[in-house]
Amino acid sequence: MNIASGNADAGKVERTVNKIELKNITVRYGKHTVLNNFSLNVESGQILGIVGPSGCGKTTVVRAICGFLDPQEGTVSISGNTMFDRSKRINVPPENRNVGVVFQDYAVWPHLTVYENTAYPLRKHGVPKDKIPAQVEEALKLVNMSSYSKYLPSQLSGGQQQRVAIARALTSSSELLIMDEPITNLDAKLREQMLLEIRMMQEKLGTTIVYITHDQEAAMQLCDRIVIMQPDGSIAQIGTDEEIISKPANRFVFSFVGVSNFLPVKKSGDKLCLDYPNDQTCFSQKIPADFPKNSDKADMGIRPMDIVFDESSPVRVKINSATFFGNIYNYFIDLAGQEYRVQRITSGNEEDEKYVEGLETGIRFLSCKYFERG
């Protein structure tokens, strides 16, 4: 069913192949609706990240794809084949969906060796016995585990176990992998390395990967496209890392990806001013284009890095605390009685010493987004 995508023919109608199509999926647990009319396409040959706070239903999405859970409504198709359609009474069991799955807790079988773990899917898929060793060897090589084939999982570290789980998922299906928080249980250093390895493996094989995580940073580092899910189970935004950071679709995306400040602002003629009861300083001579059209008032969303100290600015603040984190200085400032967070990349020179606790100074806003007053 794989048809080469028409990306080469620029200008024509884009004909990307959808590896997974979820249409109008609804999942309820008792009275609680986890997913309501959820639709999502996963394009072939890319890493799609599904990111959201815990409890938003991202794991439910994967379980519906894998067949571990039957939605109340909707259809699931993989590589163009319908896997689930309640109205047509189609429900392919998990073992026939040809999806490789990597779980958060590794789920490598403790009673089988690395080799046996990796060979299991091949045996179940009826691969001829004489072809199994070569395929296992290849998969283990991809995850740098070929020298461990005789080990039992208990003799391996967490990172190594997860590599085995990936190799096993690859022998199960090298076309489509689902990874559900695969690196959450590993320590920070290993997480970085695993992300690099997953990317390298994906580029080598052209595998389609659905990567579930609550960690926006990992998703931005690894994924071609990112789906941000809201706590109610709906999709807030789908886009590249740059789109998510630079053009957040709504207030939720802005505040979910990183630390955010929201300052009340208002239009005052053609000036832009703060909107506190005790401070209405105007700080800009023109109204930005993305200011909400239907109101004079708005919330200005701004990242801590984008607030900079500037003695000459009319917006006056007091520094409540300054904390050194090595590469970053973190400040809490008082603006009109409210506390906000400001960050500076450490310069390593005397400028670092200038902004100390208790200092009264001015701030400027470098890059911000405007949202309807919420």
Partner 1 sequence: MNQQVTNKDFLMLEGKRKRGLSMDKIMTILCYVALITVVILPCVMIIYYTFWDGTKIDFEMFRSVLFQQDNLKAMKNTLIIAVFATLFATVVGVFFAWLLGRSDIPLKGIMKFLFSIPFMIPPFLAAMSWDMMFSGRGGYVNKMLMSLLHLTKAPFNINSIAGIIVIEVVYYFPFVYMQVVSALERMDPTLEESARIAGAGQLHVIRTITLPLTVPAISSGVLLVLITSLSNYGIPSMVGYSKGIFTLPTMIVELMNRAGGSFTGIRQAAALSIVLFIVVAIALMIQRRLLTHGRYDIIKGKSMRPMLIKLRGAKIPLLIVSFVFLTLVVIAPIVMIILVSFNKAWGLPFTAENLTFMHYVNVVTKNKMVTDSVKNSLFLAFSAGAICLLLGTMLAYVIYKVKPRGGALLEMMAVLPYSLPGTVMSIGCILAWSGAFFGISLYNTIWIILVAYIARYLSYVLKSSSAALQQVHPSLEEAARSCGASHYDALKDVTLLLIKPAMLSGFFLVFLPCMRELTTSILLYGPKTRTLGVAIYQLRTNGQINQAAALSVMTIILIIIMNNIVKYITRDRRKY
Partner 2 sequence: MTEQIVLEHVTKTFTTKELGSVTAVNDFNLVVHKGECFSFLGPSGCGKTTTLRMIAGFEDLSSGSIYLGGKLVSDRSKNIYLPPEKRGLGMVFQAFAVWPHLNVFDNIAYPLKVKRFSKNDIREKVLQAMHYCNLDGLEKSFPSDLSGGQQQRIALARAIVVNPEAMLLDEPLSNLDPHLRETMRFEIKRLQKEFGFTIIFVTHDQSEAMALSDRMLIMDMGNIQQIGTPAELYNHPKNRFVHSFLGQSNFINVDVRDGRVYPAGQADVPLWVDKLPEKSGEQVLATRPNTMILNREEGFPCRIIKRTFKTDFVEYLLKIGEDNAIVQAPHRELFKNGEACYLKIYNSVYYDRENEEAAKERERRNIV
- The residues binding partner 2 (CB under 8 A) are 189, 216-217, 220-221, 241-242, 244-246, 257-259, 303-306, 321, 323-328, 330, 343, 345-349, 352, 366-367
Site string for partner 1, 139-168 (x = CB under 8 A): -------------x-x----------x--x
Amino acid found at 162: Q
What residues contact 48, with CB distance under 8 A and at least 6 apart?
42, 208, 209, 210, 211, 223, 224, 225, 226, 227
Least Å from the CB of residue 373 to partner 1 = 42
Query: In 3D, which of 200, 260, 256 has the Cα closest to residue 50?
Result: 256
Least Å from the CB of residue 349 to partner 2 = 7
- Residue 258 interacting partner from partner 1, partner 2, none (CB closer than 5 to 8 Å by kind): partner 2
Distance of CA 219 to CAs 166, 195, 227, 242, Å?
18, 9, 9, 12
Site string for partner 1, 171-210 (x = CB under 8 A): xx-----x--------------------------------
Least Å from the CB of residue 13 to partner 2 = 27
| Of 90-98, 132-140, 182-190, 207-215: span binding partner 1 (CB under 8 A) | 90-98
- Residue 303 interacting partner from partner 1, partner 2, none (CB closer than 5 to 8 Å by kind): partner 2
Least Å from the CB of residue 74 to partner 1 = 13
- Residue 5 interacting partner from partner 1, partner 2, none (CB closer than 5 to 8 Å by kind): none
SS3 track for 23-71? EEEEEEECCEEEEEEEEEEEECCCEEEEECCCCCCHHHHHHHHHCCCCC
Nearer to partner 1, 82 or 284 (CB): 82
Query: In 3D, which of 175, 82, 154 has the Cα closest to residue 112?
Result: 154
Edge-to-edge, what's the strand order for the sheet holding 225-229?
A: 100-102, 176-180, 208-213, 47-51, 225-229, 235-239
* 109 contributes a contact to partner 1 by CB under 8 A: yes
Query: What is d(CA 204, CA 13) in angstroms, rounded to the nearest whole number?
Result: 27
- Residue 28 interacting partner from partner 1, partner 2, none (CB closer than 5 to 8 Å by kind): none
Query: What is d(CA 150, CA 195) in angstroms, rounded to the nearest whole number?
Result: 25
* 100 contributes a contact to partner 1 by CB under 8 A: yes
- Residue 220 interacting partner from partner 1, partner 2, none (CB closer than 5 to 8 Å by kind): partner 2
Distance of CA 185 to CAs 143, 148, 248, Å?
18, 21, 29
How many other β-carbons are positioned within 10 Å of the β-carbon of residue 227?
A: 23
- Token digits of residue 222: 């690894």
Least Å from the CB of residue 96 to partner 1 = 5
Rg (CA), the chain: 25
Which residues are at the interface with partner 1 (CB under 8 A)?
Answer: 3, 18, 21, 66-68, 70, 77, 80-82, 85-86, 88-97, 99-101, 103-105, 107-111, 120-121, 124-125, 152, 154, 165, 168-169, 171-172, 178
